[in-house]
A and B are shown apart, each in its own frame.
Chain A
Amino acid sequence: MITYSAPYARMRALKGNLLTRIQMESLLQASDLQTIIAILSQTDYNDQIQNLTTSSQIEHGLKQNLILSYTKILNFMRGKSSRFIIDSLGRFELINTKSIIRSIIRGERIEDRSLSVFSLGKYHLLPIKELIGAKDLKTFVELMRNTFFANALEIGFQRYESESNLMSLEIALDLSYYARLHESFESLGLFDKSRAGKLMGIHFDMINITWMLRFKENYGLSSEQIFQYLLPYGWRIQPPVFWKILGSDDILSALRERYMRPYDKVLSSVSPVDGNLILGTEIALLRFFYEQSILALRGFPLQIASLVGFFIMKEMEIRDIMTILDGKILNLSQERIRPHLITIKD
């Protein structure tokens, strides 16, 4: 526990930099993109968004700021808890990997490719410079040979070669990443696991519910296929329940009717956002996740759950900033943007 004193103190200092409700509201009331950038330049995000103009550039900058928060805290961490946070940060390696693969397939120039890659500094687990320079997918897979994605890439690449469809390859990478994160979480001490377990479990549950909805509605996959693509590490949504949910015609109703707490309550009042029910469900789940992370921060401080809670809060904040920014670019009114937000509700 004592080892958390320094990272916790660092986290509290960084938490003080999160945007206040007033700042969020002023972003929402901003008239255009320039005003939003001007407001953001008064915040902790200033260094990362300077001279950026497009939405995707700004999103990259904001997320780079999140990565900086990770590294600032990691500098004070040691041992298994540090490995777990590094693996959580590894999600950006997953994003980098997917982004480079897509870029290679689209035949983009190497200089353009590096623009979308996140820099993790000394916490890169992959040979990122070499990967950016890979001339084709085969070379990319070869460069990844000694990394934790090697197996997933080998499996997925074989499928990609026969089908020319990236979905299987990306799912293999996702499964591999979350298996590693779960393994890293399992290596933590009992106290950490009991406190952070709920947050991690909700995280996996959310992924599973969203994937179930998307795979069924958008991709038309069969139950047998969806079952194999789900993460077996959830809090409430675990393998025996999958069949019951997957077997029903309407996944959301199945969750509600089976009194699957707390999701039945969370999803009881879900309504479509912009006519999209899946989006409405995602937002309801993220709001629940955000509330849980605030609760984790109110608990006993010297534990990993408070750090995880902070990272979730920061991530949600960035999501909201981007939602507002994109809404402003599309000239949407405050009333249209507000239902999409996580950190401030109607």
Chain B
Amino acid sequence: MFRPEKMSFVNISVLNENLTKVLDCIAKLGIMHIVDKSELPSTSGMLKDVDIQPIKDKLSELSNRIDVVLNAMSVDIKYLPSLDKDAQERVEINPFNIVEKIESDLIQIEADVESIIKRVESLKNEIVKLNKDSEKLHSLEAHGLELDHFRNMRFLHFAFGDIPIGLDHYGRLMESLSRIPCVVMAGDILGHRQQIFAFSLIKDKDILDNALEAAYFSKIDIPKEYDGSVSDILDKIELEIWTKREEIAELELELKGLRRKWREKLIQLRTNVIVNQAVAQSVGRFGKTDSSYFISGWVPSKELKKLDKELGKMNMRGLLMTATDPITAQESEYYRPKVPTKLIHPFFLRPFTGLVMTFDVPRYSAIDPTVFVSLSFLVMFGVMFADVGHGSVLMILGILGALFPFQQLKSFRNMFAFLACCGFASIITGFLFGNLFGKEDIIKALWFSLEHMEPSHVQRMLALGVYIGIGMLSLGVSLNIAQSFRRKDIKQAFFGQWGITSLIAYWVVVYMVITKSDFSWKIILILVVLLVPIILREPVYNLIKKKDQYHGHGEEEHGEGIIESGFQVYEIVLGYLANTLSYIRVAAFDLSHAGLMMASYALTKEMGAGDNIFLSLPSNIMANVFVIVLEGLIVAIQCMRLEYYEFFSKFFAGEGVEYKPLKIS
């Protein structure tokens, strides 16, 4: 739970003729994170590439063709049910030979539906074209311009088209034409372009055209088949569009009938294509000799036996598997290929995994911060949004969303669970501070209440925010120290920016402030003694190690290192101070929550709706909904900010590789 799962590096060699069976086994086990052979330092140049691109292209083409047919039959491919275990077993894994089989099935289905799809497509294109013509003509109609008028002009030059919006193209065009008599009218804005009508004397035609060209003018052609008044033409176009829409509706009915016949078959074909695409993608990473394939990748160390057993069952000639011991955190820093990170979480932590992964993937050698993030997020959210009523609303919404059996909500389930947890935290803190729907006088506070905003309670709340800050920063730095020890990086652990010496210095200052003691010379000396090693850590470390790590670089780099460390101390002092104070927002948001609700109830009362339940109830409900939505959102953003910038910046080691095994899904 506190560190990523241990990984072992596995190499498998298999004879060409047995590859498909081994692939099937690996994909169905779903535990091997395949590594590209180019990442393997020892085999570079010894293994050949597997030419899988033609197969990948063909599978991709088949996938597109299947999606076109499914879309035409109005099957929503975004929400197809996931595969159960039996369905997974039925999937045929054989990227080398499956293409022909799928294509022959697909050709049969396409023959049935293609003519209808093509007709629908062509009708839709015609409608798009008619709509575009209509848009162009609308602009002319709005300016009272008739096509016949400017088609046969003798003394004037006319240009109709559009120019891009942005970078003041219109303003520049107008200014550039200030030296000739001309009329430029701005028409409708369509997308990122503005329509323009421009008239000039025939003799100034070149000037106008040059200026328009520089404004990225694009001429709009009005089809010659249109003549007569603009409004007549628009009516004709409208009628034509409706006729085509009716034809499309009839064809779509026909397609619905075909959907019943082919839906299941198409979904099965699509599954086979997608799974084999993923497998083909992995095969492209394998190495090859004339007779064998070499498969390399990462497997969780505890799953090694399972893989060995399954491969052993096949009893194949020439099949060989080797695996390394579990890679340690220290080894992983230099290990190539990079070790992927698999976070192991019990079910109740899963809603919070996203919080960490959205920021970055932790390195294999790093501490998994999910437990700390989830707890601290809930504490901060709870304090900022302490309200039994509002918390209950969030919790109920979260539970309903997480349990609702709609396919569309499936991908949001973790988010709803997260919402429910936040709601629960709000309920607990709501009881601590005695707050129910913004009312401080209904339930008794278990700790202290902000009723009437008494200064002593407000101060207590602000102090709570600072204490949370001190706790979070100390935790963040402690995690960094633990992580450095894990990587056996003693220099960082003791003298790093967020190491032991800086943490002790921080605690000394915190102790002095809390106990309101004077900063005597002794204390200042202690702080200097703690911080100076950070500036001198590079030379000191080199002395300890008795070697010069800067070999090959000049004296100047020693100097630069010390200057940079000096600025780091400056950043440490500022960082601790600013970050601690930043947590005051935890208290400030709780005060603003209480204040906002007090104001909304007072407003309802002022409006004279205080005693009339029919007037006050809607007003109070609206105020509560407003606070739940708006403040809930702001508080969540603030909590994330505190986690990402103040907390993570102390220890988080990102740039990890996410563990993504080859599997059927």
Contacts and interface: CB of A to CB of B under 8 A. Distances in A.
Interface of A: 6, 9-10, 13, 76, 151-152, 154-156, 158-159, 162, 168, 172, 175-176, 179, 221-229, 232, 239, 243
B210 A224 contact: yes
Given A151-B192, A176-B167, 20 more contacts: A6-B567, A151-B167, A152-B167, A156-B216, A158-B216, A162-B218, A168-B216, A179-B167, A221-B210, A222-B207, A224-B176, A224-B210, A225-B210, A225-B214, A227-B175, A227-B176, A227-B214, A228-B169, A229-B214, A232-B168
Contacts of A172: 216
28 contacts: A6-B567, A6-B570, A9-B563, A13-B563, A151-B166, A151-B192, A152-B167, A155-B216, A156-B216, A158-B216, A158-B218, A221-B210, A222-B206, A224-B176, A224-B179, A224-B207, A225-B210, A225-B211, A225-B213, A225-B214, A227-B172, A227-B175, A227-B214, A228-B169, A228-B172, A228-B176, A228-B211, A228-B214
B319 interface: no
Contacts of A232: 168, 172
B622 to A, nearest CB: 37
A151 B164 contact: yes
Contacts of A225: 176, 210-211, 213-214
Contacts of A156: 216
A322 B391 CA distance: 67
B173 A228 contact: yes
A229 B164 CA distance: 14
B211 A224 contact: yes
Interface in B165-207: 166-169, 172-173, 175-177, 179, 192, 206-207
Interface centre among B166, B176, B206, B210 (most CB of A within 10 A): B176
Nearest to A168: B216
Nearest to B218: A158
A10 B563 CA distance: 9
Q: Does more than half of chain B's interface fall in helix, strand or loop, or is it mixed?
A: helix
Contacts of B169: 228
Nearest to B567: A6
A75 B594 CA distance: 41
B215 interface: yes
B167 A224 contact: no
B478 to A, nearest CB: 26
A63 B351 CA distance: 47
Contacts of B167: 151-152, 175-176, 179
Nearest to B163: A155
Interface in B218-242: 218
Contacts of B164: 151, 154-155
Those 3 A-B pairs whose CB atoms lie nearest each other, nearest first: A224-B211, A225-B214, A228-B214
A223 B560 CA distance: 53
Nearest to A179: B167
A239 B213 contact: no
A208 B213 CA distance: 19
Interface string B550-566: 00000000001001000
Nearest to A156: B216
Contact of A224 (B166, B214, B218): B214
Contacts of A176: 167
A339 B63 CA distance: 64
A289 B180 CA distance: 37
Interface centre among A159, A168, A222, A232 (most CB of B within 10 A): A222
Nearest to B211: A224
Nearest to B217: A159
Interface in B138-153: none
A222 B563 contact: no
Given A9-B563, A13-B560, A155-B164, A228 B570 contact: no
Nearest to B177: A224
A228 B178 CA distance: 12
Contacts of B168: 232
A128 to B, nearest CB: 18
Contacts of A221: 210, 214
Contacts of B173: 228
Nearest to B180: A224
A179 to B, nearest CB: 6
Nearest to B207: A224
A85 B166 CA distance: 24
A154 B218 CA distance: 12
Nearest to A150: B192
Contacts of B166: 151
Contacts of B207: 222, 224
A221 B560 CA distance: 52
Contacts of A227: 172, 175-176, 214
A199 B145 CA distance: 50
A345 to B, nearest CB: 30
Nearest to B168: A232
Contacts of B177: 224
Contacts of B214: 221, 224-229
A159 B216 contact: yes
A58 to B, nearest CB: 23
A155 B163 CA distance: 9
B572 to A, nearest CB: 13
Contact of B192 (A154, A159, A179, A229): A154
A229 B210 CA distance: 12
A57 B164 CA distance: 38
Contacts of A13: 560, 563
B53 to A, nearest CB: 13
Contacts of A6: 567, 570
B403 to A, nearest CB: 36
Interface in B543-587: 560, 563, 567, 570
A234 to B, nearest CB: 15
Contact of A76 (B175, B213, B216, B567): B567
A224 B166 CA distance: 19
Contacts of A243: 179
Nearest to A16: B556
Interface centre among A224, A227, A243 (most CB of B within 10 A): A224
A223 B176 CA distance: 8
Nearest to B208: A224
Contacts of A168: 216
Nearest to B215: A228
Contacts of A239: 175
A232 B176 CA distance: 13
A227 B563 CA distance: 49
Contacts of A10: 563
A158 B81 CA distance: 42
B96 to A, nearest CB: 26
Nearest to B171: A232
B6 to A, nearest CB: 31
Interface centre among A155, A156, A222, A226 (most CB of B within 10 A): A155
Contacts of B179: 224, 243
Contacts of B211: 222, 224-225, 228
Interface in B366-402: none
A243 B180 CA distance: 13
A224 to B, nearest CB: 4
Nearest to B212: A224
Contact of A222 (B175, B210, B215): B210
A146 B229 CA distance: 42
A233 to B, nearest CB: 12
A151 B166 CA distance: 8
A179 B169 CA distance: 12
A222 B169 CA distance: 17
Nearest to B206: A222
Contacts of B176: 223-225, 227-228
Contacts of A162: 218
B578 to A, nearest CB: 12
A224 B212 CA distance: 9
A226 B175 CA distance: 12
Interface centre among B168, B214, B560 (most CB of A within 10 A): B214
A221 B218 CA distance: 19
Interface in B78-97: none
